[in-house]
């Protein structure tokens, strides 16, 4: 049976943006809020529909190049150091430029912190002001009380840091109380969808491209897992084909592999980069990552539930002692079991800064011990062990 996914571009990118904002409550929903502010400014400036679409997409991915929480905290300053700004803008540009889906947005991301100059393009100019506005708002105070001080700040920087036309658009928009109240109470998301007159449904090729982008971002977050997502994907695809799955099913398995650790974007850097075994408290925090993976993938759209389960259940165990949902054998379909084996196999074979990849005999022993403990599927594990020489070339 062919599995059909109705993946919407906006909701998919919103989920990706939300993933990067989850690891510090100070930045919760930052990308979504910046997108809403930018959208309303774009409307006020009467941007053509095509430009409005590019503005929304660019705003959602504007911080894609931020690699650490520390970097994000430094960028929270209203006028961050130029070197810090250019680093994350350049990184976002380099991530997006090679892609078919987002290559045309890359320059907007590159320039979204540029100070005003006569030839500054409107889309990055809007995102710059929207980003700084969201940073300036004190989230624990009534927003309408802050309006005058916020406007005074942007007026003082008009024509030097911020585009004069964008500042004037903000002055007009600020007169509407609901603009501030939408932001304060989180009503910007449904309004954004209501006002948005375009809808882009992703093809499987496009979903795969986004998944590859996600895997690159996730794996770059920690020096210990530089190729982990890609390796899991290759191993899972190999095992799926060896199990006789259809080509279409294997493609979906590979998408699940690329997305399986997206929830790690919500984990604090000090835990992701911890050089060795985690203590009890650190493990408890790390166990969030598959929970976030489940709900972030769920935001992609109808029909994604299969990929959602296959990706997010990779730390569940047949005996019910896994996480985050404590599922047991009857709840775990073959594809989810496959992903668990692929994840463990990749983790054992890959080198980490604090250890080399383990020998094949050690990998086999650990895999068999997991089967004996009723943690992972015996038949799929036997298949992985049978093809371990081939799988080790995919790591």
Question: Residue 355 above 80 pLDDT?
Answer: no
30-185 and 204-392 have identical folds: yes
Q: What is the pLDDT of residues 327-349, one digit of tens each?
A: 999 999 999 999 999 999 999 99
Range of lowest pLDDT (103-112, 187-196, 297-306): 187-196
For residues 379-388, average pLDDT: 98
Rg of the Cα trace of the chain? 23
Question: pTM for the full model?
Answer: 0.89
- For helices 49-60 and 9-21, the axis angle rounded to 10 degrees is 30
Q: What are phi and psi of 112, to 5 degrees?
A: -75, 0
CB 303 within 8 A of CB 6: yes
What span, in angstroms and rounded, lies between the C-alpha atoms of 120 and 223?
Answer: 36
Instruction: Please provide the average confidence, as pLDDT, over all residues in the chain.
Output: 90
Range of lowest pLDDT (28-37, 156-165, 316-325, 382-391): 28-37
Which one has a higher pLDDT value, 389 or 10? 389
The CATH class that applies to domain 204-392 reads: mainly alpha
Range of lowest pLDDT (167-171, 232-236, 356-360, 365-369): 356-360
For residues 295-310, average pLDDT: 91
Long-range contacts of 171-175 (CB under 8 A, 24+ apart): 172/44, 173/40, 173/41, 173/44, 174/147, 174/150
Supply the CATH classification number for the domain 30-185.
1.10.3210.10
CB 110 within 8 A of CB 123: no
The full set of domain ranges for the chain reads 30-185, 204-392
For residues 66-70, average pLDDT: 69
Q: What is the pLDDT of residues 163-201, one digit of tens each?
A: 999 999 999 999 999 999 999 998 876 666 665 556 788
Question: How much of the chain exceeds pLDDT 90, in percent?
Answer: 70
294 pLDDT band, cuts 50/70/90, is very high
């Amino acid at each position: 049976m062919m599995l059909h996914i109705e993946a919407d571009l906006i909701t998919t990118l919103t989920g990706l943006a939300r993933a990067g904002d989850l690891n510090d409550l100070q930045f919760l929903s930052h990308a979504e809020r910046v997108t809403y502010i930018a959208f309303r400014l774009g409307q006020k400036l009467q941007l053509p529909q095509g430009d409005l679409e590019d503005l929304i997409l660019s705003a959602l991915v504007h911080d894609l190049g931020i690699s650490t929480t520390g970097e994000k905290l430094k960028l929270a300053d209203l006028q961050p150091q130029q070197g810090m700004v250019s680093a994350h803008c350049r990184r976002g540009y380099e991530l997006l430029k090679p892609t078919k889906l987002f290559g045309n947005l890359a320059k907007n991301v590159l320039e979204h912190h540029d100070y005003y100059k006569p030839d500054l393009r409107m889309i990055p100019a809007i995102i710059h002001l929207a980003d700084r506005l969201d940073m300036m708002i004190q989230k624990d105070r009534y927003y309408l009380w802050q309006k005058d001080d916020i406007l005074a700040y942007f007026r003082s920087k008009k024509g030097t840091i911020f585009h004069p036309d964008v500042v004037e658009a903000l002055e007009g928009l600020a007169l509407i109380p609901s603009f501030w109240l939408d932001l304060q109470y989180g009503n910007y998301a449904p309004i954004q969808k209501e006002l948005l007159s375009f809808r882009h449904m992703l093809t499987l090729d496009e979903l795969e491209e986004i998944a590859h982008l996600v895997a690159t971002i996730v794996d770059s977050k920690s020096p210990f897992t530089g190729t982990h997502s890609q390796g899991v994907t290759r191993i899972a695809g190999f095992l799926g084909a060896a199990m006789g799955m259809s080509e279409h099913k294997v493609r979906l398995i590979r998408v699940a592999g690329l997305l399986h650790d997206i929830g790690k974007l919500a984990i604090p850097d000090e835990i992701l980069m911890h050089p060795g075994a985690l203590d009890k408290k650190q493990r408890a925090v790390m166990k969030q990552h598959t929970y976030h993976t489940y709900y972030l993938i769920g935001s992609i759209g109808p029909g994604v539930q299969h990929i959602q389960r296959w990706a997010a259940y990779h730390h569940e165990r047949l005996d019910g002692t896994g996480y985050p949902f404590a599922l047991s054998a009857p709840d775990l379909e073959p594809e989810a079991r496959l992903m668990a084996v692929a994840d463990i196999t990749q983790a054992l074979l890959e080198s980490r800064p604090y250890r080399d990849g383990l020998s094949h005999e050690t990998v086999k022993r650990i895999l068999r011990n997991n089967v004996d403990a009723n943690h992972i599927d015996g038949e799929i594990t036997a298949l992985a062990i049978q093809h371990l020489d081939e799988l080790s070339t995919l790591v």
